Structure 1
Amino acid sequence: MLEQGLLFTLILSFLICVLMSPIFIPFLRRLKFGQSIRVEGPQSHQKKSGTPTMGGLMILLAIIVSTFIMSSQFHSVNVEIWLLVFVTVGFGLLGFLDDFIKVVKKRNLGLTSKQKFLGQVVISAIVYIVLLQTGLSTAITIPGTTLSLDIGWLYFPLIIFMLVGTSNAVNLTDGLDGLVAGSSAIAFGAFAIIAYDLSLYNVSLFSVAVVGAVLGFLVFNSHPAKVFMGDTGSLALGGALAMIAILTKMELVLIIIGGVFVIETLSVIIQVISFKTTGKRVFKMSPLHHHYELSGWSEWRVVVTFWLVGLLLATIGVYLEVWM
């Protein structure tokens, strides 16, 4: 019965996103909510200018509707579901404001980094307060072992770091058609397996709902993309991924399963440090996916390669926590 519920959730979320797209995409186009492409980005991307963005709203709606329908049908809507929805919607709202400023106010940078960070910290603080009330352990476990370390009050800055860091990492990765959608499907699928193994069925159900939504979105987001998720989608997905890792107590496993996002972020950090200290760039352009583009790889080749790397890392993460 439970397995059927997960399958139905996957199908429902997928169908909601797919069926919504032919209505929603033309609506975004009529509102002239088109993506502005950075001048300093790859020249091949300039032809994408004007492609409808804020498609993340479709992902959010598919996740929320399917999660509440199926969780109330097969399980109770508990605090875990409310936390996951709160973080997803909260980070999605920050992304929406960022996208809105970009496309309506014609400011390509959207919200300032301070504004975005403040919003992310406020959401993280609320999450921590709620988790304290539920009695969630402040211990973190070493992947593949039974060793754990209780970090006490340091768990609060860890939550902030995870939510802010993961949401920004997914946001940085969102630079090629289908890259984040496919990578997210893999990462959330891995956490769905882990949550199911831990008997955290509501968390598993939510994870499956995300997989269905991003796969439905990928139908229209694969190269050449007809719609972009924008910060609305990428920030929401990053926040949700970190929240699932927190609820499953897989804080360190997130580094493995979300390895593609970690690598992309590290490439930006390395590039900035190298340029500021030596005046030289390590990569032709960061994040890393642009480096491979400028090295002559086709966009589709880069995306598929990153998906395969993500799949390998997700398999390792699941192996360490489920099969080892």
Structure 2
Amino acid sequence: MEKAIFAMIASAVVGVFVYPKFIEFLESKGSKQEVNEFAPDAFKEKKKTVTFGGAVFVAVPIIVMVILNGFTLNRDLFLLIMVYGSYALIGFVDDYKIVTEGKNDGISAKTKMAAQLGLSVVFYAVYILTGGDNMLSIPFLKTPINLGIFYLPLVMFMLSGASNAVNLTDGMDGLAGGTSLIAFIPFAYYAYKVGNFGVLLFILAIIGGLIAFLFFNRKPARIFMGDVGSLALGAALAAVAIVLGKEVILVVVAGVFVFETLCVIIQKISWKLRKKRIFRFTPIHYSFTLNGWDEADVVNMFYGIGLVCMVIGFVLLSLS
């Protein structure tokens, strides 16, 4: 427990010292991009801000974890770091292409999805080969359900879906970082409850990294996390839920990201079938600013929703 707390503190402190220099370096290299390509025109008028911010809250916690663990990793910690780092790599390639080409296209959606699904298969294979199972725990059911080979598509859906959901949410200063931090907290509690200190170390180290990031990402943001951060965070959340055997509870704990994604899906279906929009704009957080809300108020509202989801998650995990 003490090691995990120290990892959180170390990741936060190192991050706070690294970010100013990192931002200065990125600015000198011109590593800037406009806000999310899905943003309304009003947001695209913001001055360009450096991206790649997620690289720090991925790299620093991983380095801290490896050092504190004496350069040895148990199965769970290895799996989580593997997912966190590999999905960050997909995002880094995407961000790099965006910055070098000067537009928000990045790698194609098909290529990105193929990479995400491919890595989820690798994760599943390593998970099963190192003692994992195909059991799915359902809240309030005492006996888990054996999904057999059908557990693989669930893993693929969870990892790719969660990473893309956080990516959709990353559109306002402090939004994705803050809601991700909140979503990790119930799983940290459960990891401590069941004595899985490898997972606890992983979660608290990431939380420390996010605390440092939010110092520089809250409005007005000096740096964006980019896909290198959002894809990694979403995949890490899903991987933590899988390793802890709490896959279903991820839907509750990550309620903000589920809500954002559902709104986008509903909007697309409505437009395709009816040629009408249900929401003024998606991702849905932009709809509020178009209706006159201040950006900071929208972010705080989503923090509030995230906290409600967190409390519900605590209750469900306490009863597990």
- TM-score computed with the length of structure 2 as normaliser: 0.96
How far 1:322 sits from its partner (Å)?
1.7
Q: d(CA) in 1 for partners of 2:143 and 2:280?
A: 41
Letter in 1 for 2:243: L
Match of 2:9 in 1: 11
One-letter amino acid matched to 1:13: S
Alpha-carbon offset, residue 106 of structure 1? 2.2
Q: Tell whether 2:88 aligns with 1:92.
A: yes
Partners of 1:133 and 1:247 in 2: CA distance: 13
| Residues 138 and 40 (structure 1), Cα distance of their counterparts in 2 relative to 1, 3 Å cut | closer
Could you tell me which residue of structure 2 aligns to residue 25 of structure 1?
23
Q: CA deviation at 1:124?
A: 0.9
Residues 36 and 170, structure 2, Cα contact 8 Å, conserved in 1: no
1:57 aligned to 2:67? no
Gaps of 5+ in 2: none
Cα distance in 1 between the residues matched to 2:65 and 2:185: 15
Residues 180, 137 of structure 1: CA spacing in aligned structure 2 closer, same or farther, 3 A cutoff?
same
Q: Does residue 114 of the first structure (1) align with residue 136 of the second (2)?
A: no
The residue type paired with residue 272 of structure 1 is: K
RMSD between superposed Cα atoms in Å = 1.5
Q: 1:86 to 1:39 in 2, by over 3 A?
A: closer
CA apart distance, 1:70: 2.4
Which of 257, 260, 268 aligns to 2:253? It is: 257
CA distance in 1 between partners of 2:15 and 2:169 (Å): 21
Deviation at 1:107, TM superposition (A): 3.5
Equivalent residue number for residue 163 of structure 1: 159
Per-residue deviation, 1:69: 2.2
Aligned to 2:98: 102
SS at match of 2:30: coil
> In structure 1, how many angstroms separate the alpha carbons of the residues matched to 2:232 and 2:179?
14
Instruction: Please point out which of 40, 43, 57 is paired with 1:42.
Output: 40
Q: Report the CA distance shift for 1:39/1:18 in structure 2 as closer, same or farther (over 3 A).
A: closer
Give the direction of change, closer, same or farther, for the CA distance of 1:317–1:80 in structure 2 (3 Å limit): same
Q: Secondary structure at the match of 1:48?
A: coil
SS of aligned partner of 2:145:
strand
AA aligned opposite 1:319: V
1:120 and 1:57, CA in 2 relative to 1: closer, same or farther beyond 3 A? same
Secondary structure of the corresponding residue to residue 132 of structure 2: coil
User: TM-score, normalising length from structure 1?
Assistant: 0.95
Q: Does 1:67 align with 2:26?
A: no
Distance in 1 (CA, whole Å) between partners of 2:306 and 2:81 is 25
CA distance in 2, matches of 1:130, 1:97: 24
Classify the secondary structure of the residue corresponding to 1:204.
helix
Show CA shifts across 1:39-90 (max 9, x none): 76323312434200011111112221121122339xx521211111111111
| 8 A Cα contact 2:8 2:204, kept in partner | yes
Q: Which ranges in structure 1 are unaligned for 5 or more consecutive residues?
A: none
Identify which of 219, 224, 227 aligns with 2:220.
224
Distance 1:137 1:285 in 2: 41
2:285 aligned partner: 289
CA contact (8 A) 1:52 1:227 kept: yes
Once the two structures are overlaid, the 10-residue window that deviates more, 229-238 or 60-69, is 60-69
Does the aligned pair in 2 maintain the 1:34–1:49 contact within 8 Å?
no
The offset of 1:26, in angstroms, is: 0.9
Q: Which moved more, 1:143-152 or 1:79-88?
A: 143-152
Would you say the 8 A contact 2:38–2:283 is kept in 1?
no
**Equivalences, count:** 320
Aligned residue for 1:312? 308
